[in-house]
Homo-oligomer: A and B are copies of this chain.
């Protein structure tokens, strides 16, 4: 990751290839790890006849073990041959980056401009907080628009804040999370020359793709049985809205109750409370999907059977209105299962 960050920090840097390995994160591997990243880049560059500075390197998998470089360089040679033979490697790439994911995850969008269509595609491996056994989430987006590095960086940063940064599964962050957006300009359409509307549509499409991929990560999380959207409204500021939402999303008790389909609003209120943003229970309203649970601190017990039905589904939302202001925040999460603990108890 640090290797890529250095390359990406060069103004107007151009990239022609991404090389990724799964099974080993090449993290906490010291100086040898840095040399191995460089070696991966230079091997790709040699085979494809490009510069080594034009190659981005991603690794995902176990932390603290050295890369098996003989296998890696063999793999790089074979993959390069396929590229030179013009094989369509999109599907193979999606599969190769998986670790404990149960399926490939991809998404694409097209937008129309005055001069024709622009396509954006994205693939992700849902690791990171979700598949922590193989600690990393890697997302790769490509588009045929032409844009500057700075334009792309701003668009992707904004999209990541609205999507990948809103998901939490077990609260564990990875050493290697990366989201890359590459533009090759093949459509002949130049972003800066398009209207504000088109520029905005392009940004929205990148957000939509990131959101779609992020949601696929959460639902494919290790031994997950439920997808839960937590929406905090009428907070005094966005930060406190997100703090409350994360506090709920990361509570073991709340997550365990989702797993058990128990509409336990007490645990949710407790977790919201220890986010310490000054909530008063008397102002708190809550919904499961569109069904009221609390109205300004008063539980609407007559809805109890509906609550149970909602939280028994594989997907539902929880909205919390703090009655403190006008800001909003949203976090996507999932339940905690016995199988998760069993799956992660050893590697």
Contact = CB atoms under 8 A, between A and B. Distances in A.
A253 B30 contact: no
B297 A257 contact: no
A135 B339 CA distance: 24
A342 interface: yes
Contact of A337 (B132, B174, B341): B341
B28 A269 contact: yes
Contact of A174 (B171, B174, B256, B270): B270
A29 to B, nearest CB: 9
Contacts of A250: 171
A259 B28 contact: no
A345 B269 contact: no
A260 B340 CA distance: 12
Contact of A63 (B261, B267, B297): B267
Interface centre among A30, A62, A267 (most CB of B within 10 A): A267
Interface in A302-347: 336-342, 344-347
B347 A262 contact: yes
Given A172-B271, A341-B341, A62 B266 contact: yes
A2 to B, nearest CB: 11
A185 interface: no
Given A175-B270, A253-B132, A259-B345, A298 B30 contact: yes
A192 B55 CA distance: 72
Given A63-B270, A266-B62, A298-B30, A253 B341 contact: no
A269 B28 CA distance: 8
Contact of A253 (B170, B253, B271): B170
A64 B299 contact: yes
A9 B132 CA distance: 47
A59 B253 CA distance: 20
A273 interface: yes
Contacts of A171: 250-252
A194 interface: no
A30 B282 contact: yes
B345 A281 contact: no
A274 interface: yes
Contacts of A337: 341
A146 B259 CA distance: 51
B346 A281 contact: no
A3 to B, nearest CB: 15
Contacts of A140: none
Contact of A344 (B62, B257, B269, B274): B257
B346 A253 contact: no
11 contacts: A28-B269, A30-B297, A62-B266, A132-B253, A135-B266, A171-B250, A172-B252, A252-B341, A260-B344, A262-B347, A336-B341
8 smallest CB-CB distances across A and B, nearest first, come from: A260-B345, A63-B266, A262-B346, A260-B346, A256-B344, A173-B274, A170-B252, A64-B266
